[in-house]
Structure 1
Amino acid sequence: MWWRWTLGCAFGESLGLLASALLGALVSRLAPEDGSIPWLLATLLPLVGAVEGAFVGAGQAFALGALVDRRRWIGATAAAFALAWLGGALFSFLEPPRPSSTGLLLLAAAIAGALVGLLAALAQARRAGLPRLPWVAASATGWGAGLVLAALLSQRIWGPFGAAVLLQEAVKGLAVGLVVGLVTGPTLRRLLLSAAREGEESSA
């Protein structure tokens, strides 16, 4: 189950980043030429996040199979990503005009990833009946590490927007998803096995 979960995270995040890159490029065309982001744009970015979250949730849900309600899991993950993207959009208004140092960029990525993992885990735990504290801790750690890797890999992505950039985004998504799956998989497996044992004992 651990490897199915890891692959589900990897392919889900890869497809999610592809879709969000395409939608993000479309949304960015609405921004003024001076690079400022209007408030209207902040309302559109959560839709991009919801699409990414839906792909991630779908990959995870299909890996888990009958252990979870797929629709609820996908919906919970999509909603969590939408909230995270909304927070990122609002935070962009406070971004300094000068580029941040690499250290600050990685710190921001770790915090953003932990927030994504926190929101996703809270929503997933509620829908799947998982214990909140251990799942939130694992998810926040996994996504924090994943987004740090994403920030590092994003600095390597170059070229005009097109097939080459989309391919690089897909590879980045695979790498990020693998990290998330490898970090969160053991905790999820332990929680699901514990829930299964409790169910068997209660029915005995």
Structure 2
Amino acid sequence: MTDATLPSPVASPELQARLATRRSAPAQALGDPGPSAAELETILTLGARTPDHGKLFPWRFVVLGRDSRAGIAAQLEPLADRQPDPRKARAVLAKLTAPPVTVLVVSTPDEGHKVPVWEQELSAGAVCMNLEHAANAFGHAASWITDWYSYDADAVALFGVGAGERIAGFIHMGAAAEPLLERPRPDLAGKVERRP
């Protein structure tokens, strides 16, 4: 079926319920099982179905296995000592090493294109959210995080992020070790302006 022959959207109570109860899991509390290889392939495919002005696909995925994450985390430990709170900076490395599956989303904007870089970066953010929803659709908990190692130049290099690229997020997936807690949500009265 091509996009031109896709049926019009229909109401989905299941999707509404999912969006109404969506919560992120603590990355450091994610354990086995994570998505299978086949599930992950579908999760990546679904994640890539995201708004993208200009059809530029201004992002890329890096699937980080446990071994690669453990090696990078070991290299990040000395860099943590340069952070304002070294103890906390080392502690958050557990978010990187604990989950069974992690997808790094790298924003790769084309600064010479007519589509503004900001819109290209928004597309990378939309990919991150799509990946979370796709993981949840397979029954996995997920967490979209960045942390200090997404912004430290030496740390970013350890993940293979090149010049002109930025880390949009680490999407960690697995089984939640504890019930997901609700958090405060915005009062829409202060966030919505209605114009006739």
Q: What is the TM-score with the length of structure 2 in the denominator?
A: 0.30
Whose RCO is larger (CA < 8 A, sep 6+)? 2
- Give the number of the structure whose residues are more often strand, by fraction: 2
Q: What is the TM-score with the length of structure 1 in the denominator?
A: 0.29
- Give the number of the structure whose residues are more often helix, by fraction: 1
